[in-house]
Structure 1
Amino acid sequence: MPLTNFGAILNFAEKVEQEDMEFYGVASSTAAAEAYRMLFEMFARDGKKHVSLIQRTRRENVTEMILEPIRDFVRDSYQLRVENAGSLDSTAILTAAAALENRAIRYYGDAAEKIRALPEVSRALKTLAKKRTQRLGQIENLSD
């Protein structure tokens, strides 16, 4: 399904954050990820902040959202099916978490490029990509 405008890009970004928050919320309460509980709880809390940033960006730039059409940007390559964290072992949870972070980084980076004509929106998406890159680094450090 194509992401053809400002609203679609931010709606999908919010969906990504909601799904990831849910994963981290469940993962933080599993016995398999007990060693990572604090980190995953922090990621779930960060997700709420990310959703707030997305919603604020949408509100603050709503007057410009109709003006800028987006071409050749499809959500299919950013959709990711991850098993319920409650049914995974610790290695699989870390692998799934890394996949979620990589997907978010790719999406936010690509979306920022597609919406360059709206600098505030592009900057917000780049900020989210940077935050998710830091989170990926934390996950990778756990895997070592």
Structure 2
Amino acid sequence: MTPLKTVFRLDSVTKLADKLSVSVLAVLLSSTSLASQELPQNGQILSGTGSIVQDGADMSITQNSANLDINWNSFSIGAENTVTFKQPSATSTALNRVTGTQTSAIHGKMTANGRVFLLNPNGVMFGAGAQVNVGSLVASTLGLSKIET
């Protein structure tokens, strides 16, 4: 009877391993799906004039003043998402300050015709598939209280 018990135990372990594999795969796929559908959240314009509009997987930040200062709860761009800064000129500056607790993860597209600052004390990470096409970019964990004119 000992061999039967051993076979039963191995069969039970195999079934448990299969169930765990399916569970782990489901978690990985759902987190990949979430990461691919991510855009900056809860933007508040503190100074300057402009607007923030989300249309599906795309976000447009239209800047009407030379400088725009925005606080965000989070600032990440999923692999399937695009954030576009529409700025008055190449010398225009958009300061994006993250006030939440998440690292900024840039996996999608970011475009701007001017200068973009992305400040997040929790870190800023650019994935292998990230596409950044801006006049200039500063990504930092340091703080900046305001844009100097």
Fold conserved between structures, TM > 0.5: no
More helix by share: 1
Higher relative contact order (CA 8 A, sep 6+): 1
TM-score (norm 1): 0.28
Q: Which has the higher strand share?
A: 2
**TM-score normalised to the size of structure 2?**
0.28
